[in-house]
Chains A and B, each alone.
Chain A
Amino acid sequence: MRDVVITGVGLVSSAGEGVGAHLTALASGGVPNTDAETFAPFTVNPVGTLEWDRQIPKKSDQRQMEAWQRLGCYAAGLALDAAGAKEDAALKSRMQLIVAAGGGERDYAVDGQILTGLAKAENPGIFLNERLMGDLRPTLFLAQLSNLLAGNISIVHGVTGASRTFMGEESSGVDAIRIARERIASGQDDIFLVGGAYNAERPDVLLIYEMGGFLWKKPYASVWERPADGGGMILGSGACFLVLESREHATARGAKPLAVLAGVASDRSRRKAGSVEGALHALSKQLDAKPDLVLSGATGIKGITEEEQAALKDIAPKAAVHATGDLVGHTLEAQAATGVALAAGLIAEGKAGEALVTSVGHWRGEGAIRITKA
């Protein structure tokens, strides 16, 4: 099996743009940038204003995307730049792509108008047909389709080896990295762009998680503090993409690895008390993890967050533990890649020797990723 190295990272979130900005924010240890007003009583980590033109030069492309796609496309461009791959059309034409994505994005005004009218409509079915036919923007569909983030990355950045899109909240982010790593390690492919994007500043996603009772509605608190007060998630807008390649491939093209993606493990079970703690033990054992740094994807949900804390005390008793949620909010499909990006950055700076990135999904799915020195 071949070594798989990380040679480029593209990261945007409420903490800014680029790994450097995130590591600075992490080191400062302050309270993250949150917005408690726009979607009150919900707090979100909003993404700052980005100069879209820098990574998505054509306005027509920007118009064809909704926010989650623009964020992802932007972060993908940053990762390609960081890996020194952006200008190499031949390399990008054989670069493989896995995107972890949700989808959706709606026209909220249209939805509201239709719901208002439906309640009074003489024939609701016909009313719905007429309004949807008349009011939906045809191109909105392309901004809703899960695989169109990958499609946009192919169009905007020319990454056209082949793409596949994994869905399924947090787990999809871990499994995207897992499958990419396995394909490179086995020799099937040399280089991948992999990651995800999430737009939290959307009432429809807040609605899904509010129905389930998963959102934190009190003043900001760290993910570790929330369970004692009922628990809950603060969703964050952001995107993270990684360039992964075999060590030989990186060496041959003169790319400098930030860190080694030493292993990715994931699993699921029908959860019960203790299963998350047990899963993290099993996954870290599978990876033979001995981390001195942990980037946790903890959500702040009651029960599973304490179980993760307990597991980490055993797995990594002396490690520095950072919660990515306390830096960027919970970015669902992008959370695992974000943890890997930060871990790779810290290892590249010599601030850690081996890192473990955890991903305990808010509802299902557990994952762990081991990163070591290049």
Chain B
Amino acid sequence: MALRDQQGRPLVAVTGMGVVTSLGQGKDDTWAALTAGKSGIHRIERFPTEGLRTTIAGTIDSVDVEPFCAPVLSERLATLAAEEAVSQSGLAQEDFPGALFIAVPPVEMEWPQREALAEASGQTGDVTYKDLLTAAATGRFKPWHDLFIFGTVADRVADRFGTKGSPISLSTACSSGATAIQLGVEAIRRGETQAALCIGTDGSVNPESLIRFSLLSALSTQNENPEGASKPFSKNRDGFVMGEGGAALVLENAESAKARGATILGYVLGCGEKGDGFHRTRSSPDGMPAITAIRQALDDAGLAPDDIDYINAHGTSTPENDKMEAMSCTAVFGERMANLPISSNKSMIGHTLTAAGAVEAVMSLLTLGTGRIPPTINYQVPDPAIPLDVVPNVARDASVNYVLSNSFGFGGQNTCLVFGAEPKGA
């Protein structure tokens, strides 16, 4: 088999995968729950929810970190996922022979830290940032500088795994995880590195981040039955449910992976991306950017639309996304879209935001490896406007050789990846 693709570039193999979600730690637990149609969405217990419109999420409560805040939890989720992935790849655990690309949630100081600074300032009247600055000047809060700057999660993960070069921390909003993989693929194709550790992580379910999405009316408010709230492609879908997660992939130049006798779990065959200048949170009404991203990913993989056996949907369960995604897929896949399986992992784990593209990449590769398509659960009321085969409620076994994974985000981000068990023509 040729170890270069049709464009003469090195093939990019996946040799390790790791994941942690609200369904479980590790890909075995997560996959078992996901293919059993279980939901990881539950009532939020991490902080009081009185006064909130949304009181449910797919938080990961089994992982304890100190101090509890988004960057530390995100770092921990990234590390757990990467430990599993690097271990599976058989590469050195502390001397990873390649670059790090990590999608991290934008960090900022959180309320417990602001409160601690306010208290330390001694101000008993109206608190302003002047008081916080006075407290900061004491030097007592020095570690929080490192904690709340943007490069720290990547730096710590780079130190932990001994990755090479300057790590890339990135955000493309809800497509970030896919972009991390894309950057790794590109670096291997260009020959800059033989291996890349690509991670998406998000542990940012805290009051303010939840409220921000809530104020944009992006979240489901169907709190009564948490497990039923995320209903991608259903007529009664009413928003996404926030989730937490971490996922890591070890990508390698297929030639060097084979040379060292690594087990190849699948290939990242194609990446497509397209910006959208229509609106900050809404997609172009004609769907052209998403359509272009899908087509580019197929072209990049050297595949035709008919080659795709399954679509791992972005499928957020918002009225807007699911309609736009269905329309865009129909534009690319035509009449076949009525029968082409498309399912949303988010129906079970919620929207893991920055991590989603990476989490769903791992699930796409597990579908390739096992021939099992996880379902879209909570599909009780089909939306007649978007007639799709969403693999309703129950997993399905199928012969799957090529998977398309979609990721779309605020700010006009559209990133699509194509995975294959083998490259075409192999």
Contacts and interface: CB of A to CB of B under 8 A. Distances in A.
Interface of A: 64, 97, 102-104, 106, 108, 111-116, 118-119, 123-126, 128-130, 132-133, 136, 138, 140-142, 144-148, 150-152, 154-155, 157-169, 171-172, 174-175, 178-179, 182-183, 186, 188, 203-204, 206-214, 266-268, 270, 361, 363-365, 367
Contact of B411 (A140, A154, A159): A154
Contact of B154 (A125, A142, A168): A168
Contacts of A172: 150-151, 168-169
Contacts of A142: 280-281, 410
Given A166-B168, A167-B169, A171-B166, A148 B145 contact: no
Contacts of B97: none
A132 B207 contact: yes
B190 interface: yes
A145 B106 contact: yes
A138 B215 contact: yes
B341 interface: no
B84 interface: no
24 contacts: A111-B114, A112-B127, A129-B211, A130-B51, A132-B207, A133-B214, A136-B215, A151-B411, A154-B275, A155-B280, A160-B274, A160-B289, A163-B412, A164-B183, A171-B166, A172-B150, A178-B166, A203-B129, A207-B133, A208-B109, A208-B145, A208-B148, A209-B145, A364-B155
Nearest to B144: A211
Given A142-B281, A175-B166, A182-B192, A165 B127 contact: no
A136 B211 CA distance: 9
Interface string B254-295: 000000000000000000011111111100000001000100
Contacts of B104: 167
Given A112-B126, A162-B275, A213-B139, A148 B144 contact: no
B236 interface: no
Contacts of A128: 111, 207
Contacts of A118: 111, 115, 118
B128 A112 contact: yes
B132 A207 contact: yes
A204 B144 CA distance: 13
Given A133-B214, A147-B172, A268-B167, A126 B151 contact: no
A253 B124 CA distance: 64
Given A136-B208, A151-B411, A365-B151, 14 more contacts: A115-B127, A126-B51, A129-B51, A147-B411, A161-B275, A162-B275, A164-B172, A167-B104, A167-B106, A167-B169, A183-B186, A188-B190, A210-B136, A211-B142
A136 B216 CA distance: 11
Given A151-B412, A163-B172, A166-B169, A211 B49 contact: no
Interface residues of B, number: 82
A122 to B, nearest CB: 12
A116 B132 CA distance: 12
A126 B133 contact: no
Contacts, number: 243
A314 B133 CA distance: 40
A211 B129 CA distance: 13
A126 B47 CA distance: 9
A270 B165 contact: no
Contacts of B129: 108, 111-112, 203-204, 207
Interface of B: 47-53, 104, 106, 108-109, 111, 114-115, 117-119, 124-130, 132-133, 136-137, 139, 141-142, 144-146, 148-151, 154-155, 158-159, 165-173, 179, 183, 186, 190, 192, 207-208, 211-216, 273-281, 289, 293, 409-415
Contacts of A160: 274-277, 289, 412
A132 B158 CA distance: 35
A126 B49 CA distance: 7
Contacts of B125: 116
Contact of B171 (A132, A147, A267, A363): A147
A208 B142 CA distance: 9
Nearest to B121: A115
A104 to B, nearest CB: 5
Contact of B145 (A152, A182, A211): A211
Contacts of B159: 270
Given A118-B115, A160-B276, A207 B412 contact: no
A290 to B, nearest CB: 23
B212 A155 contact: no
Contacts of A207: 109, 117, 129, 132-133, 136
Contacts of B171: 145-147, 164-165, 167
Nearest to B284: A160
Nearest 4 pairs between A and B by C-beta?
Answer: A151-B411, A212-B145, A168-B151, A125-B48
A115 B170 contact: no
Given A164-B172, A168-B150, A145 B215 contact: no
A206 B133 CA distance: 8
Contacts of B151: 167-169, 171-172, 361, 364-365
Contacts of A214: 145
A106 B207 CA distance: 15
Nearest to A168: B151
A111 B104 CA distance: 24
B142 A129 contact: no
A186 B190 contact: yes
A211 B186 contact: no
A186 B189 CA distance: 10
Nearest to A270: B159
Contact of B216 (A141, A146, A361): A141
Contact of B172 (A125, A165, A365, A367): A165
Contact of B413 (A140, A147, A152, A361): A147
A356 B293 CA distance: 37
Contacts of B139: 213
A136 B111 CA distance: 14
A151 B280 contact: yes
A147 B278 contact: no
A142 B170 CA distance: 17
A154 B411 CA distance: 8
Nearest to B212: A141
Contacts of A140: 212
B155 to A, nearest CB: 6
A44 B211 CA distance: 32
Contacts of B281: 142
A145 B173 contact: yes
Contacts of B118: 115, 118-119
A147 B415 CA distance: 14
Contacts of B141: 211
Most A CB contacts (10 A, CB to CB) among B129, B293, B413 go to B129
Nearest to B167: A268
Nearest to B117: A207
Contact of B215 (A97, A112, A141, A171): A141
